[in-house]
Amino acid sequence: MNAAARQPADAAHRARVLRALGVTPWQRRGAPAVAVAQAGQAHAPAAAAAAGVACVAVLPQGCSARELDLLGRALATCGAALARAARVTVSDGQLAADVPEARAYLVFGEAQAHALGRALPAAAMHQAQIVLADEPALLLTSAGAKRRLWNALRSVRRTLAAAGD
């Protein structure tokens, strides 16, 4: 077995790859864990519904922890606006919750895109950019799906940057 394939990539290699993909690395600032947990539980749903959000990720129901971890890491890599994207699930062709109006929607799978189309008003769909990506289960197994996800994330990032977020 190739020993080089098992070694983790160094920081310089990671920086070159991210620069080639057009991704700006985002680093978390140190914050007390208690304050972050309390703020996230108490104010996130109310603030997202009231103020509108920059991006909404529409996911299928029943994603595994591995799939959600991959998506969370990919969104966090693209900056704070995407890392804090609201996440809405679709079950049985219907959205599980009300979808907040946003500048961009990152939709994982065609069934989720159809559910979003039925739930959003026409004016909101006209103003927002809706980007379709592959289902999370396919992202774990296909290099092409990962490449399409990176292209979708770059497109959403450009839209949010142009809007000033």
Could you tell me the two tokens for 14? 């990671």
**Contact between residue 133 and residue 108 where contact means Cβ atoms under 8 Å apart:** yes
CATH class as words, domain 49-163: alpha beta
- The neighbour count for residue 116, using CB atoms within 10 Å, is 21
Token match 């769909």: residue?
Answer: 125
Q: What is the mean pLDDT of the chain?
A: 80
pTM for this model (two decimals): 0.66
Q: What is the pLDDT of residues 25-81, one digit of tens each?
A: 777 776 555 444 444 444 444 334 434 578 999 999 989 999 999 999 999 998 888
**Contact between residue 21 and residue 154 where contact means Cβ atoms under 8 Å apart:** yes
pLDDT in the model for residue 58: 93
Q: Structural domain boundaries of the chain?
A: 49-163
Whole-angstrom distance, CA of residue 87 vs CA of residue 106: 9
Could you tell me the two tokens for 164? 């000033």
pLDDT in the model for residue 37: 44
Work out the pLDDT band at 13, boundaries 50, 70, 90. confident
Q: Percent of the chain at pLDDT above 90?
A: 35
Task: Indicate the length of the chain as a whole number.
Answer: 165
Cα–Cα distances in Å, from 36 out to 31, 39, 53, 69, 112? 7, 5, 19, 19, 30
